[in-house]
Structure 1
Amino acid sequence: MSAKDLRGRTAFVGAATFGCGEAPGYTAIELAAEAGRRAVDDAGLKLSDIDGLFICLPNDFLSGLTIAEYFGIHPKMTNNSRTGGSAFLTHAEWAMLALDAGLIDYALICYGSNQRTGAGKLVSAQAPSPFEFPYRPNNPVASYALAASRHMHQYGTTSEQLASVAVAARQWANLNPEAFKQGSLSVEDVLATRLVADPLHVADCCLVTDGAAAVVLTRADRAKDARKTPVSLLGAASATWHTEIAQLADLTITAARESGERAFAQAGLTPKDIDVVELYDAFTINTILFLEDLGFCPKGEGGRFVSSGAIGPGGSLPVNTNGGGLSFCHPGMYGLFTLVEAIRQLRGEAGERQIAGAKLALAHGNGGTLSSQATCILGVPETV
């Protein structure tokens, strides 16, 4: 069997979010469990139907066991492997394989964090590097600032172009009643915020929020009986090139180039086929790098592309239609929210931000300091 043989063999049948923004009084497991329960209900299933659990929690390295006990179920498979914010898209890749092999029938992927009300700051599960720590970088922002600085030096990218990513995200967030940050935001407003790590300002950085998300996958034959229109998983791939930013050979090129190429090949599609794009925008430079590496614009052209208005409402390539990690929510690890928004767009459930006629979507997750990349391509049934 080749990777192409897996195209459309599995589908998303449930999706949900919960507690995005501030959820005082909830623990991380309670948030994840509630999102999971809602996703299972969205699929028209019972928790007892779930026999595959995939989860990461910010403060529980045995979270696959914890969530099983919390739900009171006995799954055949649990997986709480961590690759940072990309983990949940890698979970989708592994769930696809397990489902197609007949090892499980229904997979639940979920995540929750009370980072804002519990800790009040960004919490990292990554241990300090013994090689980078002596330089006392303000990570993760310092590592992303290095990538932004190099992109500026090499391609002439400007702070104004970086800021236009945050502006587009806010424009989308203003159409999303669930978004934590709303209101007007201009390029000038972004540049007026405090520098955190040159050239990145506060408004170039993701939010610190609470929140939870969950999705349910099953095989295509079972998906036909789902409560709502299933969303097919057409391609899924991941790639890892490094853990420390100092080991990235070229700070302007990420492993998204590899994960995207393999996901598109599996799906039998090209970037020109995609109607809506959901990217992990922990920092404004992420969106530019990933648009380039995934093939939506040439390398070095990302700054000009985003500043043209292409990625905002009414643009030629809708990107982060929920407001992204910059304005919607960012509870420590954001990757699963890209899948939920892609599913909602393809189901036609996105309200004012709905992309008319959307049939194909790309969701992309990032982990560590541009370290782990994972790409999923989704489609409505007629695209299989």
Structure 2
Amino acid sequence: MISRNRFPSGSVNIVGAYESPRRKSPNVHPYQIHAEVIAAALADAGLTVADVDGFATAASFPSEAGWQLNVVEIAEYVGLEPAWVDGTDIGGAATLSHVGHAVAAIQAGLCEVVVVSYASCGRSWPLPATDFNTGPTGPGQYEVPFGMSTISAYALAATRYMHRYGLRAEHLAEVAVQARSNAHRNPDAMYRDPITVDHVLSSTMISTPLHKLDCCVVSDSGGAIVITSRERARDTRRGGPSVLGFGEAVSHGQMNQMAELTTTSAERSGRRAFETAGVAPADIRVAQIYDSFTITVALSLEALGLVPRGEVGDFLASGGIGPSGRLRINTDGGGLSSNHSGRRGMYAVIEGVRQLRGESPGVQLESPELCLVNGTGGWLSATATLLLGATR
């Protein structure tokens, strides 16, 4: 029998990373941002476009200016001629999937240097667009007539969790408060002024129980990372963390098909990532967790095994993610305060790299050895999880 846990842990490193400082960029095309961040990430690695033989991206949302063959179009625009490509599109978790797939491709000898990029003008895109996941066919026919939106879908999960486990709005507000505290030190964060639980609870109710400050910012931005083998990483300009573990999982497209509203497929992607890395949730002291909404973080903390089931409210209330807590998350300010242009998985990976390099623009821990990164896509529809390890 072939083992299911043959992920080549530690064989590949992320040797270049760059996040665009753009937050509001009217009249700038997303492909221009792709070109900027790819060039900067390659410079960070000490490599050039000529070194790249693998490319991955996802660009199907209107604000990303992509459509069919988006990998082809963007590669052409930035001057790449890859031998291996990946256009896997699972929403905000896509970048993490691209990393895991790139590790496998490099190990298999299909390519040697992979660039993963993402860019979107989620704030400034001038053309109208429908909300995500509003297709009127299939399961969507049971939701679209009632005006389900991305926010109301997440609010539905929050309401169910509150009913079952006693989570309160004050608990969720702690996630937003800590994100803003981390962003306060980040010069590129979209919002940096400190907030309190009362600020969150008094902000406009968007979809019960989620207030305005429970929701991610809407920005323009982009980012890119460069991935290569451990052997070649030694010859790059700075090196970078190794990819120790990886897992991905999907569950549903529409909320009416979600089997259990109080957890996510991160139960599966996280378990696979921990197994392939050979570490346990108790080993994690810093994590970059997709924070489209505060409830996304709460559900992910439990699904990943970082907090026992049903106890996330108490964990948040006790300062578990605070300065003296056992787990620091979203150290750059996350999607709730720094940036969220459409798929924040890219920025979460970049912050994981920066944290392990000792150069977070937000809150830098002292010599972290591990960083967990978790992405969530769609309406809690898909997840991908990475475990990164520092190289000293």
TM range (shorter): over 0.9
State the 1:119 CA deviation: 4.0
Q: Output one character per residue of 1:290-334: Cα deviation in whole Å (capped at 9) or x when no partner.
A: 011101111111122122222133432110001010001000111
Given the alignment, which residue of 265, 269, 275 partners 1:265?
275
Please give the residue correspondences for 1:172-251 in structure 2 after superposition, counting only pairs within 5 Å: 172-251=182-261
Q: Distance in 1 between matches of 2:276 and 2:128?
A: 39
Instruction: Output one character per residue of 1:241-288: Cα deviation in whole Å (capped at 9) or x when no partner.
Output: 111111111100110000000000000000111231001100000111
Name the counterpart of 2:83.
76
Counterpart CA distance in 1 for 2:285 and 2:247 is 19
**Partners of 2:332 and 2:362 within 8 A in 1:** no
The answer to whether the aligner puts 1:59 opposite 2:59 as a matched pair is no
Alignment of 1:80-99 (within 5 A): 80-99=87-106
Summarize the alignment of residues 337-348 of structure 1 with structure 2, pairs less than 5 Å apart: 337-348=347-358
Instruction: Report matched runs for 1:7-18 at 5 Å.
Output: 7-18=9-20
Per-residue CA deviation, residues 188-239 of structure 1 (Å, 9 max, x unaligned), is 0111111111000111111110000111101111111121132100011100
Give, as a single letter, the amino acid of the residue that structure 2 aligns with 1:175. R
Task: Work out whether residues 161 and 303 of structure 1, in 8 Å CA contact, stay in contact via their aligned partners in 2.
Answer: yes
What is the aligned partner in structure 2 of residue 131 from structure 1? 142
- Aligned pair in 2 of structure 1 residues 92, 239: CA closer, same or farther (>3 Å)? same
Question: Which residue in 2 is equivalent to 1:24?
Answer: 26
The answer as to whether partners of 1:50 and 1:105 remain within 8 angstroms in 2 is: yes
> Residue 7 of structure 2 contacts residue 245 of structure 2 at CA under 8 Å; is this kept in 1?
no
For 2:150 and 2:314, how far apart are their aligned partners in 1? 25
Residue by residue over 1:24-57, the C-alpha shift from the partner in whole angstroms, topping out at 9 and shown as x without a partner, is 3311111122111111111110011111110112
- The separation in 2 between residues aligned to 1:130 and 1:92, in whole angstroms, is 34
Q: Which runs of 5+ in 2 are unaligned?
A: none
Alpha carbons of structure 1 residues 29 and 351: separation in structure 2 relative to 1, 3 Å: closer
| Deviation, structure 1 residue 126 | 3.1
Per the TM alignment, residue 123 of structure 1 is displaced from its structure 2 partner at its CA by 6.6
Amino acid corresponding to residue 362 of structure 1 in structure 2: L
1:30 alignment partner AA? Q
TM-score (norm 2): 0.94
Amino acid at match of 2:233: A
Query: Which residue of the other structure, out of 375, 380, 384, is the alignment partner of 2:390?
Result: 380
Q: Distance in 2 between matches of 1:152 and 1:304?
A: 12
- Cα pair 2:288 2:374 within 8 Å, conserved: yes
Q: How does 1:276-355 map to 2 (within 5 A)?
A: 276-351=286-361, 353-355=363-365
Q: Which moved more, 1:266-275 or 1:122-131?
A: 122-131
Other structure's SS at 2:161 match: helix
Contact 1:224 1:230 in 2 (8 A): no
State the distance in 2 between where 1:377 and 1:353 align: 19
Deviations 1:328-351 (A, max 9, x none): 100011111110000000001115
Contact 2:133 2:254 (C-alpha < 8 Å) held by counterparts: no
Letter in 2 for 1:130: Q
CA distance in 1 between partners of 2:386 and 2:124 (Å) = 31
Question: What amino acid is aligned across from residue 46 of structure 2 in structure 1?
Answer: G
Aligned positions of 1:350-361 closer than 5 A: 350-351=360-361, 353-361=363-371
- TM-score (structure 1 length as normaliser): 0.96
Aligned length: 381
Following TM superposition, by how much is the alpha carbon of 1:84 offset from its aligned partner in structure 2, in angstroms? 0.6
Contact 2:285 2:326 in 1 (8 A): no
Is contact 1:190-1:204 (8 Å) kept?
Answer: yes
Deviation at 1:120, TM superposition (A): 9.1
Aligned residue type for 1:355 = L
- Give the whole-Å Cα distance in 2 for the aligned partners of 1:303 and 1:199: 15
Is this contact kept in 2: 1:10–1:218, CA < 8 A? Answer: yes
Greater Cα offset, 337-346 or 54-63: 54-63
- Counterpart CA distance in 1 for 2:367 and 2:281 is 17
Deviates more, 1:252-261 or 1:240-249: 240-249
Structure 1 residues 369 and 152 mapped into 2: Cα distance closer, same or farther (>3 Å)? Answer: same
- The Cα of 1:71 is off from its aligned counterpart by 2.0
Residue aligned with 1:233, SS: strand
- SS in structure 2 at match of 1:20: coil
- Counterparts of 1:122 and 1:277 in 2: how far apart (Å)? 32
Q: Hey, what's the Cα distance between the residues in 1 that align with 2:241 and 2:318? A: 31
Residue range with higher mean Cα deviation, 173-182 or 66-75 = 66-75
Structure 2 residue 128 is matched with structure 1 residue 117: no
**How far, CA to CA, are the matches of 1:358 and 1:20 in structure 2?**
28
For 1:145 and 1:119, the matched residues in 2 are separated by: 28
Query: Which AA in structure 2 matches 1:105?
Result: E
Q: CA deviation at 1:78?
A: 2.0
Distance 1:260 1:45 in 2: 32
CA shift in 2, pair 1:140/1:97, >3 Å: same
Q: SS of the residue aligned with 2:248?
A: strand
Give yes or no for contact 2:56–2:87 (8 Å, CA) kept in 1: yes
Deviation of the 1:23 alpha carbon: 2.1
